[in-house]
């Protein structure tokens, strides 16, 4: 009867040790640096990913951005984001993790890498990381605002898609003023393309203020 608990606890210890090893290798000129990508691709196959793995993967992103001399560092970033956020439901405002997501200046590098990839799922992962949070872990407002010019240029926002849901959530977090620099017309075009309904909105006062500012 104790097997599930033991298995879960053992997996947690293994992943924490693995995370420490990954960070150590990233931060040094370790001869096995190139093996990191293989390890991360194996983690993508892990089913029922625990919440603490999300915080770990996000920390890896910061470390990878800090050490951009790594071979295939952009691929490492995209895989880390996938491990941490691909499995999360875009309808969930909060991310269940053992520790808060720590947003650093190094995470800014994610914007160009993710949007340059033109992979919808990678964009979803990034928006999920920066719009969700916890009771004491608010969304990454400053980092998310950097995405404004990229969001107004998205054209693959199909109805009911995960990407559309996360863009809607991102627009609510960024607010009207965050889009002033990209042009009012482009912002309004984005809103029309999104076709936002009441069912799409988590924070109605937030969107009421946004629409009043737009008008």
User: What is d(CA 190, CA 138) in angstroms, rounded to the nearest whole number?
Assistant: 25
CB of 194 closer than 8 Å to CB of 157: yes
pLDDT tens for the chain, 215 residues long, are 334 444 688 889 999 999 999 999 998 876 677 789 999 999 999 988 988 999 999 999 999 999 998 889 999 999 999 999 999 988 887 777 777 888 999 999 999 999 999 999 999 999 999 998 766 678 888 899 999 999 998 877 887 799 999 999 999 999 999 998 898 899 999 998 888 888 877 767 788 888 888 87
User: What is d(CA 43, CA 53) in angstroms, rounded to the nearest whole number?
Assistant: 10
pTM, entire model: 0.89
Q: What is the pLDDT of residue 31?
A: 67
Q: What is the pLDDT of residue 58?
A: 95
Q: What is the pLDDT of residue 196?
A: 85
In this structure, the dihedral spanned by the alpha carbons of residues 3, 4, 7 and 10, taken in order and rounded to 10 degrees, is -100
Q: What is the pLDDT of residue 7?
A: 66
DSSP helix/strand/coil, 94: strand
CB of 77 closer than 8 Å to CB of 61: yes
């Amino acid at each position: 009867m104790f097997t599930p608990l033991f298995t879960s606890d053992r997996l947690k210890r293994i992943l924490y040790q693995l995370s420490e090893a990954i960070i150590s290798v990233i931060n040094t000129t370790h001869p096995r640096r190139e093996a990191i990508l293989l390890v991360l691709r194996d983690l993508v196959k892990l089913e029922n990913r625990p919440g603490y793995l999300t915080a770990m993967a996000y920390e890896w992103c910061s470390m990878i951005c800090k050490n951009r001399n790594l071979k295939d560092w952009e691929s490492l970033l995209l895989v880390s984001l996938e491990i941490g956020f691909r499995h999360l439901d875009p309808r969930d405002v909060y991310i269940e993790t053992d520790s808060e997501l720590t947003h650093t200046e190094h995470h800014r590098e994610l914007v160009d890498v993710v949007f340059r990839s033109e992979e919808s799922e990678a964009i979803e992962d990034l928006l999920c990381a920066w719009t969700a949070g916890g009771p004491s872990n608010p969304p990454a407002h400053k980092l998310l605002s950097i995405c404004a010019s990229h969001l107004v240029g998205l054209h693959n926002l199909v109805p009911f898609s995960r990407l559309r849901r996360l863009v809607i959530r991102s627009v609510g977090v960024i607010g009207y003023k965050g889009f002033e620099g990209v042009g009012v017309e482009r912002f309004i075009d984005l809103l029309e393309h999104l076709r936002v309904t009441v069912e799409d909105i988590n924070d109605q006062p937030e969107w009421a203020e946004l629409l009043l500012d737009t008008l």
